[in-house]
Amino acid sequence: MAESTPIRKIIHVDMDAFYASVEQLDDPTLRGKPVAVGGGSKRGVVAAASYEARKFGVRSAMSGVLARNKCPELIFVKPRFERYKEISQQIRKIFLEYTDLVEPLSLDEAYLDVTENKKGLPSATLIAREIREKIFDETGLRASAGISINKFIAKVASDINKPNGQKTIAPEEVESFLLGLDIRKFYGVGKVTAEKMYQLGIFTGADLKNKSEDFLTEHFGKSGGHYYRVVRGIHTSAVKPSRVPKSIGAERTFSENLSSELFMLEKLQKIAEELENRILPKKRAGKTVTLKIKYSDFNLHTRSKTLPYYISRAELIFEISKELLFQAPLENSVRLLGISLSNLNTATEAAETPNSSVSVQLSFDF
């Protein structure tokens, strides 16, 4: 690990099967049973699965039909995002008791920089344990955590002792941990990239570290430099309390395929209204409207238009989306429509987001 790398105390907290656990918390009859949040119909998709369901191979993003085939006793419940958001806000308040440097990734996970913390506690490991206990005491839900010197390693570590556990990778352990890590665990290495790495003889962190930066850049472009640095424990991305969104969107999957643009106008109107409801509380507006069309054969197309001014109201969003819909003939029947607004009025806010980088000595408690 490079001596010049900023060393921080980073915790990654990840709630265990969050959506499904909330449903089991609120409905005692679901406890100990295989539960999937989502839809079990022909078009349904699993948003989250309880650990009882995961034992059968049920996973998020799996079709409801396949999930039920894997687990005939599976119980489907409809998602209640307002409830999940309510509990997520409770958990966020707990994080903020320890540090203002909290970067939410979603409703159920976040990074915390506790290098300097409000309670003056010397050990990030003890802080993580205390946070997990407090989450359980106040919400009845379990969380797992990873603790290390940067966001990448902390996130990987949080998976090691799931559910209801934690793992610390101390500074002196980072090198050996990364060398033994399966290449598929490295951030940015998806299925396609992993296959390419296998063909190049790269299966573990040790194999990756043996490759030069020039070699990795030649085969993986700009990502090659990332792989070269991260396997050496160099990952300088700071925990950013304000994650400025680049776009805001809304979409809808239909129970029956739509075959004509005329049938889609009412759907687009409702999606535009939903988007406005998401935009206005955040005081956002955007210049670029993007229409997302997913066909019945799962091919995905997008059409965009950029305006010389910001918009946020449903009427204008709908009019631009309608124009994009009729821009070209449909190629097939449609199963999903979505509208997103980007090029947002957040450039100044992003520029003003403080950098939370803290450089300290290696010889502190983890």
pLDDT tens for the chain, residues 1 to 366 = 444 455 789 999 999 999 999 999 999 999 999 999 988 777 788 989 999 999 999 998 888 889 999 999 999 999 998 999 999 999 999 999 999 999 998 899 999 999 999 998 889 999 999 999 999 999 999 999 999 999 999 999 999 999 999 999 999 999 999 999 999 988 778 888 999 999 999 999 999 999 999 999 999 988 899 899 989 988 888 888 866 678 899 998 887 889 888 889 999 999 999 999 888 887 889 999 999 999 988 888 999 999 999 999 999 999 999 999 999 888 889 999 999 999 888 754 444 444 433 333 334 467
The amino acid occupying position 224 is: G
CATH classification (class only), 180-230:
mainly alpha
Q: For the chain, where do the domains classified as CATH 1.10.150.20 start and end?
A: 180-230
DSSP category for residue 15: E
Q: How many Å apart are CA 219 and CA 292, to the nearest integer? A: 32
CATH superfamily, domain 247-350, is DNA polymerase, Y-family, little finger domain (3.30.1490.100)
Q: For the chain, where do the domains classified as CATH 3.40.1170.60 start and end?
A: 18-80
Q: How many Å apart are CA 124 and CA 10, to the nearest integer? A: 8
CATH code for residues 18-80: 3.40.1170.60
pLDDT at 234: 85
- Tokens representing residue 191 in the block: 């299925």
Q: How many Å apart are CA 294 and CA 301, to the nearest integer? A: 6
pLDDT at 351: 43
- Tokens representing residue 316 in the block: 């204008």
CATH classification (class only), 10-17+82-173:
alpha beta
Q: For the chain, where do the domains classified as CATH 3.30.1490.100 start and end?
A: 247-350
Catalytic positions, written as ranges: 109
pLDDT at 347: 53
Q: For the chain, where do the domains classified as CATH 3.30.70.270 start and end?
A: 10-17+82-173
